[in-house]
Structure 1
Amino acid sequence: MQKKRSLIFLIICSLVVAMLGHLFFITEWFQDRYMVGPNDGLQQMVTFKKLLYEQYSTGNFFYSYQFGLGGGTYSQLAFYFSTSFMFMLTAAFVYLLQSVQLIGPADTLFWANAAVFVSIVRLAIIIVITTYVFRYMKCNWMPAFTGAAIYGLSAIYFRHVTYWEFFADAMLWVPLLVFAVEKIIREAQGGWFIVAVAVTLFNNFYFAYVNLIFILIYIMLRWKIQLVENETNRLRQLKMYFVSGILGLGISAISFVPAVYGYLNNHRPPYSQQVPLFNWDNILFNSRFVIIPALFLILLFVFSLYKNRTFRLFAALSIIFILLHFTPIVASAFNGFSAPQYRWEYLLSFTIGGCVAFGLKYIDEISKKKLTIASIIVTIAYLFTVFFDKNISITSYLSFAVLTMVLITIFLLFMFIWGKDRVRLILLYTGLLIIPIVFANVFQYGLSVPGKVDEVSKNHLRSEDYNGEEQRQIIQQIKDRDNNPFYRIDWKVGSFNNTPIVQNFNGMSVYGSILNKHLLYFYLYDLNIDMGRESVSRYATLGNRANLYSLLQGKYMIIEKDNNSPIPYGFNKIIESENYIVFQNNNILPFARTAKMLFSEQEMKHTSVLAREYAMLEGAIVPNKNNTAAIPKEQNIIDTATLETVNALYNDNKLSVTDDQGGIDIIADEIHPDTKDFYIRFHLENLAADQGFTLKVNDYKTTRKSNQSVYKTYDDNLTIRVSKADKVKIRLPKGDYILKVIALYQEDYSKLEQAKRQATETKKINWSDNRITITYNNQNNDNLMILPIPYEKGWEVKVNEETQAVKKVNYAFVGFPIEKGINHIQLDYYPPYFRTTLVITLISLILSVVSWWRARGTGTLSR
């Protein structure tokens, strides 16, 4: 009964601290402003929550046609929320509220509204778990709670939640892993290690990597610092770590394996920039990642505390991680040896919390002299930092606020040391809790105003800059006139590639860290499609190339009236509103197409992208097969064209633009009268060390990243489609460039129109969740069916009840053999290795339960 009352009291206290720690964003919520970042917060966090909740609440757990050009969300969104326990619990609660009609639709506005409340609950859980872990390690209640609160109320928590919410979930599992390790060391019990490893790996594979590196460091240091008598010997520990870890991995297999497959099936150019050894970051005043509490520093310099082994353990860990914070090499290592990312800093916040907890445990043993020495050292450190950091001033509000909190901390400690009675003890802990609460709210203000989080408001989420009323109405008009479930609309608001998910239509763009590599190769290399903006982790539009729109169900395009965007061939205006125009593609091809002529990727490798488009219109491009037809021909007329410089010098492939808008004019002398468009291809590199730029080709614009950008694709081969004109004008800002391998092709769209005439519409197509059924009468004796569904592992197909191999066709899409006559086709999608991992998970669960049951009588697991 006492334990139950203690737990209830702890939960209440944790919720109170969590709510007080969110006071700033709570007040913002009352003013319809949300705890959501203006970039990834809006583009990804609330957007993917909306998508996944709609899937999960209807029983569809695996695939979405709305995710870009289609994709396995269970695998590709495992980096975000698809396997997140916190999200699943939240989704279940939201579903319950919807079931009793207490709330309405769970759109992006709903998830933005809910963000601060989900964060409060998460933070309370973090504090409860961490407090219990410190208690298990023999810390008193109030020090344990204070240390847990300092961990939870850290800068990195609020930064993570606001900008990349799922990052904060990792903070739940760090104390659980430490508890599991201590269970093995102290009691030779491996059951909790199974649980900790399983939930860590299941929840998020990326942060499992980070957390397991941490726990490995913890174990190694723990072997050096013995905390209790009769600890389990190391050989036995290793056996238990191995066996329990394998069982935990096995339990998580159903989530972990598809998630890792999604990561490995992603494409991101290697990070080519040099990672520096050292980077200064002011962790006492204005770091974006971690602000060291003054209380921690004071305790760190009370050298008598090091007699306590647990304090020594957490102090050593903290010092190690503080030193590692200053080297971007470690930030790169924690990010899979890619670009340095400081996402791991919550580990330092945890060790600081532990150091504070076990330092405060012995607060009454600290003498006035020792506290005085520590206070002087810390004060000098702060003043030294202020005077030598040129980015802050001693007279600034920041300096005043930080130094005030330092002085208040010192005052509280001296107040208690001077009297050491119960009233002073209560005042001490109350004050020490208020300081991180105040800090948390001040940090939130820093995120909101300078970080522009305050721009994420109800008005913004209903504006034309995100999801406007006029935009929603025009989308609805398209839906009202076309009930085909497979067409796609080329439309996004500005650079928000996930607009289709927000506005609930099948689009042609997506932005996410894990995407289908076949699609990314398709865009970057195979078809060389310009997206209007160079960036990794996204794809969008089809570069106004009519052939591709017709092949990939791009039936509609929405543009803003004042945009003056070029319109692809074959698109006609059908709807007009005050600010937008809708165009319809009159050459759309069937969703299910068949082919007899096959072209091999290898033999198409040395052709132009226009020839590849022709091959896809006439038949299909497949890997590793001899061509069954002649390679389509296109005409490169660059040799008959004249190149003229404009405000530029051009020699030996080097272009020096001497004015703001200079470049080259390509004057075509022999243009076929039937030509509708030009395809202009060239290789372009910016020689500036750090300068992004806008490229213009006639009326087409696209932006290119700086050479220093971590989001640069390093694909400098461009293909731009423009309408037929006397001149093709390539325009660049002032600077030096490499411009070479220029080619100019004519397109009359005769092959597209022929494909449209010969197309046979397949009417019997049904798509429900992760299953597609098609009935097709193959009267032409074609041997392959192609669907505009991205190829990825997990698709299975049966044709007339016979299992067939799913093939990668047209570089990135699903194809499979068909028979002459009637074909009854069924395609199913399951996450990669789903059945195998399901069996592994079930077996591992059974073995874990059996091991636990056997260990009950002996007090051990995995002997």
Structure 2
Amino acid sequence: MKKKSIGLLILISLLVSAAAHFFFLQESLDGRYMLGPNDGLSQILPFKQFIYDHYTEGNFFYSFRFGLGGGFYSQLAYYFSTSIIFFLTIIIVFLLEMFQVIDPPDIKFWADAAIWVSIVRLSLILSITTWVFRYLQIEKTAAFTGAVVYGLSVMYFRHVVFWEFFSDAMLWIPLLVIATEKIIREGTPAWFIFTVSLMLFNNFYFSYINLFFLAMYIVFRWMIPLTANERGKIEQCKLFITSGLISFCLSAISFIPAAYGFFNNHRPPYEAEIPVFAAVDQPLFASRYIILPAMFILFIWIISLYKHSLFRLFAYLSFLLILLHYSPIAGSAFNGFSAPQYRFEYLLSFTVAGCIAVGLHHLKSVYFKEIVLAVIASLTVYSIGSAFIDPMMSVASVKNIIFTLLLMTALLLVLYRWKTSIVFLRCLQGWLIISSLLIVNIYQFTLSENAGVKKVSKDFLESASYNSVEQQQLMNHIQQATKKPFERIDWMIPTRNNTPIVQRFYGTSLYSSILNQELLFFYWHDLQIDMGRESVSRYATLGNRSNLHSLLQTNFWVRPKEQEANIPYGFQKFSETKNYVAYKNTLPLPFARTTKSVFSEKDLQQGSVLDREHAMLQGIVLKDETIPHQSWNAPVKNRINQASIEAIGGTYQNQKLSVQETVGGIDIIPKEPNQNTVDYYLGFHIQNIDGLPFELKVNDYKTTRKAFDSIYKTNVNDLMIRVPKDEKISIRVPKGNYVVKSITLFEEDYQVLEEVVNKDVQSPTVNINRNKVTIDYNNQTGERFMALPIPFEKGWKLQINGKKQPIYEANYAFTGIALQQGKNNIELAYTPPFFSFSCILFLIGLVSAYYVCNTKRDCH
């Protein structure tokens, strides 16, 4: 392509991209954003701000503000931490900030910027796809029309609104195609190495999906040659394998930490049945994932187009992907063989666009009779499809629009082939672009109205439901009173687990698809901390349990005034505003705690959750059984046998609870509790027999449980709820049938916590700087271990007095250090897992890429 043509293509792509965002550009004038109300606000915006803040401060790997602390480079690789588009955005924004063109970016800045980044991204997709279609010898206007069909797919806007990082995947498909063709046709691997290495670096999850497509494309290409003298399959295989290995090496500094983060996450197996085929949606009229263009439906009935190998290639790929679209098992396979997710349909958008581009290129050679038959066949297909639409569904209102688009497309197609006039051909291509613009803007309107996108506005971002001035002021006031290295605040807006990231404080909650599984197990199994909401991708709060608050430096507790019941023991009012109250812990513990007492996780398996809390307070609990340890000999007694259980609003027999009234459950009435008891720890197993979601209430404490077939269900049904001492404990659930068993009841007087807090010990000196923790401690009393509230995670390296030492998994999910007698100069440093090895692979990849790309090959 000539420079003038490239410039014109970029300009037209920008104009079409802006027109494709017309609806949201209008919305932006009214203070609304192109963002989903759920993950868009809860993940996309917070993670953008979080990564920008850390990267521009020179911190690239670890943050104590990432939930309870974590390696965000690897855990956020699924989102933006390795995104090339976001890297470029950071550079531009940082330069604008540095030259004082803009103020320091905040949440509202990233909300405003989303639409402009999307316009640029989509224009890149249009330009690159046009260039690739031109390489495949498709006429330029047909190539651009096909690119528009691909870029202006509903999947692009679904992704960019709800999960923006998903939309980057559409950049790589056309680049993969040209990279593959370069090897097959020319035997040159440079483009393949460049594309695959960047793709693997950018996002491991969509690389997985794109590599599925790459495999399909190569297999279909071997069956359908496009040019003469293509390289032999053995030579191709050698080049694909060699180039793929080099690409892996070049991307290793991103891909390996990201892959480790994925495998160090835990997703319970999806237990619901996954059918082979299912009626997913209506892709002819309205679908959340793919709207098949009328031109594609018309072209697939034209037999003579199948004489052209390129059309056959795209058509057959499209047929396969349509089949996979209707297969939940395929949806599971594309999602890593987990719960079915329909995120791969952008592949179908590309192959459909290829069909249309090739069809337009060869349209002049199609017989008029074939056009007429294709129109009749297409009208029949749409008529049959419309018969399956429920007239009460919102889809029905779109039916007339789709039929109108079909008729207009068919009319222009017939007129062109009747007259074979270039004017009618340009009108047809222009109509395809206009109809694509119309469809995506209607789709954006639908998202706004039906998916709550219109609620995402500047006013909402400044409201108490997200980030009000009152909340910010209270957080700032608390942070001014916190001690070094840091103290955590137990506070989040309901369902917004990333509130600490938004409001920039050290919190106790996090919402991310990739989490440190040690923390998940800590919450789900080891300490059974209820989060107020069941979810596989969140953790939150500490269950209002004072022992855990003190152990994990969570010394402030904030709630709205109407929800200030269940204040953790030992907390006193610190500050209040019009709507919120903050409490401060009067029983804090130091960040670095030393001990002579060592307990074993295995020995405590049969103990209660309260035993484990006491063991962590009185010493350290280690996973490594080879370390000499002492037996736990102070078990807390289960008092459930000294309590009576009564059914309320239903019956409770043989561990089955049947609630006939709107709300019911059981009452547990403790008998003769200890006079010093402050709280009860109530444990029980609960499941809804019908597999329905439900709200569970224990006295003033509320939590929710997922449906059996929810993809976000933890499959953990054993709960431990801390309840302030009362005459009775009421478990309440909605009408229905439940299994309630394994009920336990423990009493807590906090004597252990108070003894530990009041113990006169030497506190080590701690300093935290980004991904480094330094501690100075003079061990004069024979302390064996130091316990730190740093989540245990691969990537930490420990040196004591300049010598490398092992790190122990302690207190179920945190860090333990074996102390030496006398002076201990401790240095903990974090780098992403296998980072040094990844850097070596990167250097090997550079050398190999240079050698392979400069090796001359014989032309065939």
State the TM bucket, normalised to the shorter chain. Answer: over 0.9
How far apart are the structure 2 equivalents of 1:272 and 1:645? 31
How far apart are the structure 2 equivalents of 1:337 and 1:391? 35
CA positional deviation for 1:522: 0.1
Instruction: Give 2:56's aligned residue.
Output: 57
Preserved CA contact (<8 Å) 2:485 2:767: no
How far apart are the structure 1 equivalents of 2:116 and 2:135? 29
CA positional deviation for 1:775: 1.2
- What TM-score do the two structures reach when normalised by structure 2? 0.98
**1:657 is matched by which residue type in structure 2?**
V
Say which SS state the counterpart of residue 696 (structure 1) adopts. strand
Preserved CA contact (<8 Å) 2:256 2:838: yes
CA positional deviation for 1:70: 0.5
Instruction: Give 1:372's aligned residue.
Output: 372
Instruction: Give 1:340's aligned residue.
Output: 340
Instruction: Give 1:543's aligned residue.
Output: 543
State yes or no: 1:70 paired with 2:69: yes
Instruction: Give 1:569's aligned residue.
Output: 569
How far apart are the structure 2 equivalents of 1:470 and 1:365? 69
**2:288 is matched by which residue type in structure 1?**
R
Instruction: Give 1:189's aligned residue.
Output: 188
Say which SS state the counterpart of residue 669 (structure 2) adopts. strand
| Count of aligned residue pairs for this structure pair | 857
How far apart are the structure 2 equivalents of 1:4 and 1:765? 59
State yes or no: 1:815 paired with 2:816: yes
Identity %: 48
**Matched ranges for 1:439-838 at <5 A:** 439-625=439-625, 626-689=628-691, 691-758=692-759, 760=761, 762=763, 764-838=765-839
How far apart are the structure 2 equivalents of 1:759 and 1:538? 37
How far apart are the structure 2 equivalents of 1:21 and 1:121? 12
Q: 1:37-69, CA deviations, whole angstroms, 9 ceiling, x for partnerless residues?
A: 000001011110100010111111101111110
**1:771 is matched by which residue type in structure 2?**
K
Preserved CA contact (<8 Å) 1:783 1:817: yes
How far apart are the structure 1 equivalents of 2:823 and 2:95? 45
Preserved CA contact (<8 Å) 1:552 1:788: yes
How far apart are the structure 1 equivalents of 2:45 and 2:564? 31
Say which SS state the counterpart of residue 81 (structure 1) adopts. coil
**2:283 is matched by which residue type in structure 1?**
I
Say which SS state the counterpart of residue 67 (structure 2) adopts. coil
How far apart are the structure 1 equivalents of 2:772 and 2:428? 62
Change (3 A) 1:102 1:761: farther
Instruction: Give 1:116's aligned residue.
Output: 115
Instruction: Give 1:413's aligned residue.
Output: 413
Preserved CA contact (<8 Å) 1:677 1:748: yes
Instruction: Give 2:46's aligned residue.
Output: 47
Change (3 A) 1:531 1:199: same
**Matched ranges for 1:841-852 at <5 A:** 841-852=842-853
Q: 1:415-454, CA deviations, whole angstroms, 9 ceiling, x for partnerless residues?
A: 3223333333332222221110111111111111111101
**1:35 is matched by which residue type in structure 2?**
M
How far apart are the structure 2 equivalents of 1:587 and 1:100? 47
CA positional deviation for 1:623: 1.2
Worse-superposed segment, 361-370 or 449-458 = 361-370
Say which SS state the counterpart of residue 602 (structure 1) adopts. coil
Say which SS state the counterpart of residue 548 (structure 2) adopts. helix
Say which SS state the counterpart of residue 766 (structure 1) adopts. strand
Say which SS state the counterpart of residue 733 (structure 1) adopts. strand
**Matched ranges for 1:57-456 at <5 A:** 57-280=56-279, 281-391=281-391, 396-456=396-456
Preserved CA contact (<8 Å) 1:649 1:657: yes
**2:646 is matched by which residue type in structure 1?**
E
CA positional deviation for 1:764: 2.8
CA positional deviation for 1:820: 2.0
Preserved CA contact (<8 Å) 1:597 1:629: no
How far apart are the structure 2 equivalents of 1:90 and 1:361? 37
**Matched ranges for 1:5-16 at <5 A:** 5-16=4-15
How far apart are the structure 2 equivalents of 1:766 and 1:36? 39
How far apart are the structure 2 equivalents of 1:163 and 1:394? 21
Say which SS state the counterpart of residue 575 (structure 1) adopts. strand
Instruction: Output the aligned Cα RMSD.
Output: 1.5
Change (3 A) 1:594 1:188: same
Change (3 A) 1:859 1:56: farther
What 5-or-longer segments of structure 1 have no aligned partner? none
**1:433 is matched by which residue type in structure 2?**
I
Q: 1:547-590, CA deviations, whole angstroms, 9 ceiling, x for partnerless residues?
A: 00000011101110112431110011111110000000111111
Preserved CA contact (<8 Å) 1:386 1:392: no
Say which SS state the counterpart of residue 658 (structure 1) adopts. strand
How far apart are the structure 1 equivalents of 2:57 and 2:547? 35
**2:354 is matched by which residue type in structure 1?**
G
Change (3 A) 1:585 1:394: closer
Preserved CA contact (<8 Å) 2:657 2:739: yes
How far apart are the structure 2 equivalents of 1:840 and 1:497? 37
**1:835 is matched by which residue type in structure 2?**
S
Change (3 A) 1:86 1:395: closer
How far apart are the structure 2 equivalents of 1:759 and 1:447? 60
**2:714 is matched by which residue type in structure 1?**
T
**1:537 is matched by which residue type in structure 2?**
S
How far apart are the structure 2 equivalents of 1:827 and 1:277? 50
How far apart are the structure 2 equivalents of 1:750 and 1:822? 32
Say which SS state the counterpart of residue 738 (structure 2) adopts. strand
How far apart are the structure 1 equivalents of 2:800 and 2:393? 73
How far apart are the structure 2 equivalents of 1:736 and 1:780? 57
Preserved CA contact (<8 Å) 1:64 1:72: yes
Q: 1:299-336, CA deviations, whole angstroms, 9 ceiling, x for partnerless residues?
A: 11111111110011001101111111111111011001
CA positional deviation for 1:144: 0.7
CA positional deviation for 1:759: 5.8
- What TM-score do the two structures reach when normalised by structure 1? 0.97
Say which SS state the counterpart of residue 833 (structure 2) adopts. coil
CA positional deviation for 1:393: 7.7
**1:40 is matched by which residue type in structure 2?**
D
Instruction: Give 1:854's aligned residue.
Output: 855
CA positional deviation for 1:858: 5.7
How far apart are the structure 1 equivalents of 2:601 and 2:8? 66
Preserved CA contact (<8 Å) 1:387 1:394: no
CA positional deviation for 1:414: 2.3
**2:59 is matched by which residue type in structure 1?**
N
Preserved CA contact (<8 Å) 1:392 1:399: no
CA positional deviation for 1:394: 12
CA positional deviation for 1:850: 2.2
**2:638 is matched by which residue type in structure 1?**
N
CA positional deviation for 1:821: 2.3
Q: 1:216-245, CA deviations, whole angstroms, 9 ceiling, x for partnerless residues?
A: 011111111011001111111111111111
How far apart are the structure 1 equivalents of 2:183 and 2:696? 61
How far apart are the structure 1 equivalents of 2:617 and 2:130? 64
Say which SS state the counterpart of residue 2 (structure 2) adopts. helix
Preserved CA contact (<8 Å) 1:637 1:670: no
What 5-or-longer segments of structure 2 have no aligned partner? none
